[in-house]
């Protein structure tokens, strides 16, 4: 898009007039926004627009190191103003204390790089930046009503795709989904598309038009419920069809198509990592020496979790009876789903059932789910086999585990097991009762 704008407006002569190098500086602008254009592990310095001595310049517009950049300063101030929410982060205060220092960096060949740093006393101020961003996402950007309207607009555009033609370069025609392949066509893909569909009269756009009319008249999909995952689900896209199928199982005749599931992920900009651990601070006594804030010196009153995942369920049938049924289905599904995912979470976290003990019956017990081990042919032996070897080719173990994993319960379970192990019960211990 930047190349298209430069070409269409003939910017290169103007850039040369003011002493700029068009090819080099346009590359620099792209890299400031998107990062390295062709990154390779073999490259000592991945950027082409500016040398490594100017590495700090790449932290101004879109900071890939820690997310502290003017893009964030801008939209936090703008969105907070329009939404009427408090913005405790003062970018002017940050700029007042910002300094460029040379810091240690294991990713650099020389082991050092220049970066933008701030005063050590501004740690809380830096946390405000990411906390306010999180609040805006939770209260506005990813609010449930905002999210479902976005989803409905996307659904309408999907149904309109193929029935709307956008003229691109050379007179070629593109659809809504292919317009991004041609920048001239892409520049015409504005908010006006919404109005064009809404005011259309052709039958091909009827379904798309109805969805947008429902949005305008506030007939949006109804929120059913949400759940927060303690352990984020990674491959959730592939699970949504099975979730919808599980939600549709119930008393009322609801189908998987009647549900919309959105997975919302919110964090401090670096997944589950603390971005402030990637910010360098300098002290009043050492203005040119900066390093990450040590945990023992930082404030203890901070969050220890930097990401969360919400699963939101909506019902496309908006009549009261269907919505109430969907809420009931959601509660049933949640109970069933949580019980199974809780077991999986325990496995992942290592919180498994505790081994109590095992015993070996004298003779194998039939019709019992225990551990059977043999040489592949139960207790059968070959007459021609060597006599210098084992004379028994199968064994059966009874293993006992305790589902309660606290030490007190496990200790009691082991005591119970020892008592049970020596009880002579033929149906458990075999015919000899050993």
Report pLDDT digits (tens) over 165-202: 999 999 999 999 999 999 999 999 999 999 999 999 99
Please, what is the average pLDDT of the chain?
86
Question: Which is nearest to 145 in space by CA: 85, 66, 242, 218?
Answer: 218
Question: Which is nearest to 280 in space by CA: 288, 268, 272, 270?
Answer: 288
Least reliable range by pLDDT among 196-200, 231-235, 407-411:
231-235
Instruction: Write the pLDDT tens digit of every residue in 67-113.
Output: 999 999 999 999 999 999 899 999 999 999 999 999 998 877 778 89
Question: Contact, 123 vs 141, CB < 8 A?
Answer: no
Q: What is the mean pLDDT of residues 225-232?
A: 83
Share of the chain above pLDDT 90, in %: 60
Residue 286, pLDDT > 50, answer: yes
Which pLDDT score is estimated for 232? 78
SS3 65: coil
Phi, psi angles (nearest 5°) of residue 289: -115, 120
Question: Which is nearest to 276 in space by CA: 256, 248, 298?
Answer: 298
CA gyration radius, the chain: 32
Predicted confidence band at 297 (pLDDT cuts at 50, 70, 90)? low
E-state strands within 294-434: 307-315, 354-359, 371-374, 394-402
Q: What is the mean pLDDT of residues 402-417?
A: 86
Share of the chain above pLDDT 70, in %: 82
Instruction: Write the pLDDT tens digit of every residue in 327-360.
Output: 999 998 888 876 666 565 566 666 677 776 776 6
- DSSP string spanning 145-203? HHHHHHHHHHHHHHHHTTS--EE-GGG-EE-TTTGGGSHHHHTT-STHHHHHHHT---G
Instruction: Write the pLDDT tens digit of every residue in 141-156.
Output: 999 999 999 999 999 9
What is d(CA 75, CA 85) in angstroms, rounded to the nearest whole number?
A: 13
Give the containing element (helix H, strand E) for 101. Answer: strand 99-104
Find where tokens 């006992």 sit.
Answer: 400
Residue 295, pLDDT > 80, answer: no
pTM of the model: 0.73
Residue 32, pLDDT > 90, answer: yes
Domains and CATH numbers, the chain: 2-143+274-292 (1.10.3210.10), 146-220 (no CATH), 354-379+391-429 (no CATH)
Residue 298, pLDDT > 70, answer: no
Q: What is the mean pLDDT of residues 414-433?
A: 63
Q: What is the mean pLDDT of residues 209-218?
A: 97
Residue 273, pLDDT > 50, answer: yes
The token pair at 79 is 């969105």
Predicted confidence band at 7 (pLDDT cuts at 50, 70, 90)? very high
Residue 306, pLDDT > 90, answer: no
Which pLDDT score is estimated for 339? 62
Find where tokens 């982060």 sit.
Answer: 89
Which pLDDT score is estimated for 386? 43
């Amino acid at each position: 898009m930047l190349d298209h704008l430069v070409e269409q407006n003939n910017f290169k002569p103007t850039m040369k007039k003011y002493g700029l190098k068009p090819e080099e500086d346009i590359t620099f602008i792209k890299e400031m926004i998107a990062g390295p254009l062709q990154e390779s592990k073999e490259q000592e310095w991945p950027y082409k627009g500016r040398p490594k001595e100017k590495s700090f310049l790449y932290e101004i517009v879109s900071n890939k190191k820690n997310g502290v950049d003017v893009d964030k300063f801008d939209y936090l101030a703008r969105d907070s103003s329009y939404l009427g929410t408090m913005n405790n982060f003062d970018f002017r205060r940050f700029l007042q204390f910002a300094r460029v220092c040379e810091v240690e960096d294991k990713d650099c060949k020389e082991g050092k790089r220049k970066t933008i740093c701030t005063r050590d006393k501004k740690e809380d101020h830096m946390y405000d930046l990411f906390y306010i961003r999180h609040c805006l996402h939770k209260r506005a950007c990813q609010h449930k009503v905002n999210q479902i309207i976005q989803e409905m607009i996307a659904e309408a555009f999907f149904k309109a795709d193929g029935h709307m033609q956008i003229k691109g370069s050379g007179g070629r025609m593109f659809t809504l989904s292919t317009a991004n392949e041609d920048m001239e066509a892409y520049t015409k893909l504005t908010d006006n598309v919404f109005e064009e569909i809404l005011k259309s009269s052709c039958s091909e756009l009827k379904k798309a038009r109805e969805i947008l009319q429902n949005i305008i008249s506030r007939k949006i999909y109804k929120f059913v419920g949400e759940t927060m995952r303690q352990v984020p689900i990674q491959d959730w896209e592939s699970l949504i069809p099975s979730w919808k199928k599980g939600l549709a199982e119930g008393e009322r005749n609801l189908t998987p198509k009647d549900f919309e599931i959105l997975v919302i992920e919110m964090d401090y900009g670096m997944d589950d990592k603390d971005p402030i651990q990637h910010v360098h601070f300098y002290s009043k006594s050492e203005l040119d020496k900066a390093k990450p804030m040590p945990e023992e010196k930082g404030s203890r009153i901070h969050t220890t979790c930097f990401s969360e995942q919400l699963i939101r369920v909506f019902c496309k049938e908006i009549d009261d009876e269907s919505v109430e049924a969907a809420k009931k289905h959601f509660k049933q599904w949640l109970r069933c789903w949580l019980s199974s995912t809780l077991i999986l979470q325990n496995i992942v976290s290592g919180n498994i059932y505790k081994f109590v003990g095992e015993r070996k019956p004298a003779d194998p017990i039939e019709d019992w789910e225990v551990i059977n081990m043999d040489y592949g042919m139960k207790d059968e032996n070959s007459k021609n086999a060597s006599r210098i070897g084992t004379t028994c080719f199968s064994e059966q173990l009874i293993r006992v585990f305790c589902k309660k994993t606290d030490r007190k319960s496990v200790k009691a379970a082991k005591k119970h097991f020892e008592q049970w192990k020596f009880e002579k019960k033929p149906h458990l211990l075999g015919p000899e009762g050993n």
